[in-house]
Amino acid sequence: MNLLPQSLLTRTVLLIALLLTVSQLAWFQMLRLFEREPRARQLAVQVVSTVNLTRAALLTAEPSKRRELLLDLSEREGIRVYTGLPAEIMVNPPNSRFLQLTANAVGSELGMDTQVLVQREDDGTTLWVSFNIEGDEYWIVLSRARTERAFPTQWLSWGALVLLFSIFGAYLIVSRINRPLRRLTDAAARIGKGELPPALPETGSTEIRAVSRGFNQMTDDLKRLEADRALLLAGVSHDLRTPLSRLRLELEMLNESESLKTGMAQDIDEIDAIIDQFLAFARGNAEETEAECDLNAIVRAVRERYARIGKPMVLDLADLPPLALKPLAIQRLLVNLVENALRHGGGAIEIRTAVNRDNAVLAVLDRGLGIPECETGRMLQPFTRMDSARSGGGSGLGLAIVDRIARLHEGSVKLLARAGGGLEARVELPLRGEPHASDQHPESSA
Residue ranges of domains in the chain, CATH in brackets: 8-154 (3.30.450.300), 193-283 (1.10.287.130), 288-430 (3.30.565.10)
**How far is the C-alpha of 212 from the C-alpha of 199, rounded, in Å?**
8
- 3-state secondary structure labels for all residues of the chain: CCCCCCCHHHHHHHHHHHHHHHHHHHHHHHHHHHHHHHHHHHHHHHHHHHHHHHHHHHHHCCHHHHHHHHHHHHHHCCCEEECCCCCCCCCECCCCHHHHHHHHHHHHHHCCCCCEEEEEECCEEEEEEEEEECCEEEEEEECHHHHCCCCCHHHHHHHHHHHHHHHHHHHHHHHHHHHHHHHHHHHHHHHHCCCCCCCCCCCCCHHHHHHHHHHHHHHHHHHHHHHHHHHHHHHHHHHHHHHHHHHHHHHHHCCCCHHHHHHHHHHHHHHHHHHHHHHHHHHCCCCCCCEEECHHHHHHHHHHHHHCCCCCCEEECCCCCCEEECHHHHHHHHHHHHHHHHHHCCCCCEEEEEEECCEEEEEEECCCCCCCHHHHHHHCCCCCCCCCCCCCCCCCCHHHHHHHHHHHCCCEEEEEEECCCCEEEEEEEECCCCCCCCCCCCCCEC
Residues 321 and 13: their CA atoms lie apart, in Å, by 40
- Amino acid occupying residue 404: R
Phi-psi region of 108 (alpha: psi -120 to 50; beta: other; left: phi over 0): alpha
Angle at 49 between CA 47 and CA 55, to 5 degrees: 100
User: Can you tell me the distance from the alpha carbon of 196 to that of 192, in angstroms, rounded to the nearest whole number?
Assistant: 9
Burial class (CB in 10 A: 0-12, 13-18, 19+), 64: exposed
Calpha distance 220→215 (Å, rounded) = 9
Closest among 91, 158, 156 to 121, alpha carbons compared: 91
- Torsional sign, CA 246, 249, 251, 256: negative
Measured distance CA(94)–CA(86) in Å, rounded? 18
Report pLDDT for 232: 67
What was the pLDDT predicted at 184?
Answer: 87
End-to-end CA gap in the chain? 32
The contacts of residue 12 (CB under 8 Å, 6+ apart) are 170, 174, 178
10-residue block means of pLDDT along the chain (446 residues)? 67 83 80 74 82 81 76 72 77 78 83 81 75 81 63 70 84 82 85 80 84 89 77 67 74 72 72 69 67 94 91 92 90 90 83 92 91 82 61 66 88 90 92 50 40
**Angle 309-313-319 (CA atoms, 0-180°, nearest 5)?**
130
Which pLDDT belongs to residue 124? 67
* pTM for the structure as a whole: 0.48
Phi, psi of 33 (to 5 degrees): -65, -45
